[in-house]
Structure 1
Amino acid sequence: MNNYTIRNANPSEFEEIGKLLIRVYSALEGFPKENEQPNYYKMLANIGDFTKLPDTELLVAVDDNNTILGAVVYFNDMQYYGSGGIATQEKDSAGFRLLGVDATARGKGIGKLLTLECIQKANLNKRKQLIIHSTLAMKTAWGMYENIGFKRSEDLDFMQGELPVFGFRYQFIL
């Protein structure tokens, strides 16, 4: 059994993380391809740019060999979250986006570890909730999110071009 560490990505790793996320998202059945959503894939390729935003972190899951197995962008302030819909107007709230786990590392709990790290960060920062979005192509992750305590929030849903995007909230008990 490997030990996994969740930490902030180093700038020297940004390009590798972008490539990992492009592999993950482009392989999802039913998810738009690069020619359909070029700006989305450009954002993935330049994932490190998110770290220039205030209160925003690019987190990675690495193994004992420091191999990057997964990543997620954590936003401690929803105004920087960058989604459609009303999510960016939510106050005292955190969010995460663009969670991806390398195909070779799926089923090892890495997505859950990254999610729990975001929950812990939001809780430590005294946020009232953690907001995420997902698509039907990512529905396998919905069960994990719901088992952790996320609830579907239809008020956060929006359309990204032709793609329906579904919102979830994790509420903290204050």
Structure 2
Amino acid sequence: MNNYNIRNANPSEFEEIGKILINVYSKLEGFPKEEEQPNYYKMLANIGDFTKHPETELLVAVDENNTILGAVVYFNDMQYYGSGGTATQEKGSAGFRLLGVDSQARGKGIGKLLTLECIKKATDNKRKQLIIHSTLAMKTAWKMYENIGFKRSEDLDFMQGELPVFGFRYQLIS
């Protein structure tokens, strides 16, 4: 097993992370392409902009050579989460979005490591739950999330244009 490290991304890495995420999302079968949702892909390209919000972190998984293998945006305050639906009104909650693993690093547990780091951050910050969203094109990740303990929450579902987006919760404090 390789030794991976999860840390905050450096501003000098933001552009590379954006390119990785665009590559990941644009290749998902059934996920809208750049010409269908240009603003979504512009957001991915400018992923570092999320770090301008308070209590928002861009986390990266790197190997021993400091190669970026994957990334996720962690929101300790849901008002900055930036999704459709009601998620941004959830109080005492954290969330993460835009998790992506480089195609060269798939199957090595990188997505799970990033997810577990977000759970740890939310726990350390005494959040009552962690909220995420996914789409049918990301169904592979659903199994991982559910195995970790996320539960589907239909009240968090919304439509992003023609794309149904599905909400999940991970209870931290009951």
Aligned residue number for residue 140 of structure 2? 140
TM-score by length of 2: 0.99
* Whole-Å separation in 2 of the counterparts to 1:54 and 1:64: 30
Shift of 1:2: 1.3
The superposition leaves residues 54-105 of structure 1 with CA deviations (integer Å, 9 ceiling, x where unpaired) of: 0000000000000000000000000000000000000000000000000110
Shift of 1:173: 2.9
Q: % of aligned pairs identical?
A: 90
Matched, 1:91 2:91: yes
Runs (4+) of structure 1 exceeding 4 A deviation are: none
* Whole-Å separation in 2 of the counterparts to 1:17 and 1:173: 32
SS at 1:165 equivalent: strand
Q: How many residues align?
A: 174
* Whole-Å separation in 1 of the counterparts to 2:75 and 2:172: 16
* Structure 1, unpaired ranges of 5+: none
CA contact (8 A) 2:17 2:68 kept: yes
Letter in 1 for 2:43: M
Letter in 1 for 2:54: P
Q: RMSD of the alignment, in Å?
A: 0.5
TM-score by length of 1: 0.99
Aligned residue number for residue 120 of structure 1? 120
Letter in 1 for 2:94: A
* Whole-Å separation in 2 of the counterparts to 1:61 and 1:30: 26
Aligned residue number for residue 27 of structure 2? 27
